[in-house]
Structure 1
């Protein structure tokens, strides 16, 4: 078990409010420029996040647990041993409605096809982002199976 003084606070916030709040020994995420890991006493950082899985390793009595959170972009700020992720949307793996995510994936694939046929670049880009978000949610959900 990690020493309590070696843990830091992790908060994930969306426009709907606080989605996640726990103490952690390490957080692993994908920034827009590559993978990042943050541990206790990490140097202050502010960086944009990619649409990806955020892994929060937390310790509880005699066991280590990793929470997976589907984050659809946003930012992470770390200072004074507090990591705050601000995202448009974020869901813990256990809260993801996978059938809804799969339906969103199918819709996005259909919209991509239609946008390509119409040569509508703006619609294509929106549909590609929707597809990445849906795939991210499905992948994060599958980590708990």
Structure 2
């Protein structure tokens, strides 16, 4: 096991409460300006996140557990070796219902097609976001299985 003083805490919080809390050696995520990786003793940071995957490496060894979490945007804050992810919604890969995610993808694709035919910009944007969320959930599910 890794030296305990080289691990930090990561918490993932949604409006529904705390969904993930563990010690880890590395957190990777996609911020609005690109991919970020945070390790122990990183400088304090606050950055907005996009729809994407959070990867949490729970130890320093090559075969240590990696948790995958799908988020739909939010914020990442790191200070004093505590990482906090505040997300609009978040799901651990082990809790993603693949058939629901695939159904959401099909609905979003249908809505996108309908909105494009009507040239409704606002509906197009909403459908594109719904599609990105569904595709992200499917991708995160597949990354862990």
TM-score, scaled relative to structure 1? 0.97
Name 1:66's counterpart in structure 2.
66
Write out the 4+ residue segments of structure 1 that deviate beyond 2 Å after TM superposition: 59-63
Unaligned runs of 5+ in 2: none
Cα-Cα RMSD? 1.5
d(CA) in 2 for partners of 1:15 and 1:30? 20
2:107 counterpart of 1:110: no
Q: Using the TM superposition, give the Cα deviation of residue 59 of structure 1 relative to its aligned residue in structure 2, in angstroms.
A: 2.3
Name 2:79's counterpart in structure 1.
79
2:15 counterpart of 1:15: yes
TM-score, scaled relative to structure 2? 0.97
Name 1:27's counterpart in structure 2.
27
Name 2:125's counterpart in structure 1.
125
Equivalent pair of 2:41/2:81 in contact (CA under 8 Å): yes
Give the secondary-structure state (helix, strand or coil) at the position aligned to 2:59: strand
Q: Which moved more, 1:56-65 or 1:91-100?
A: 56-65
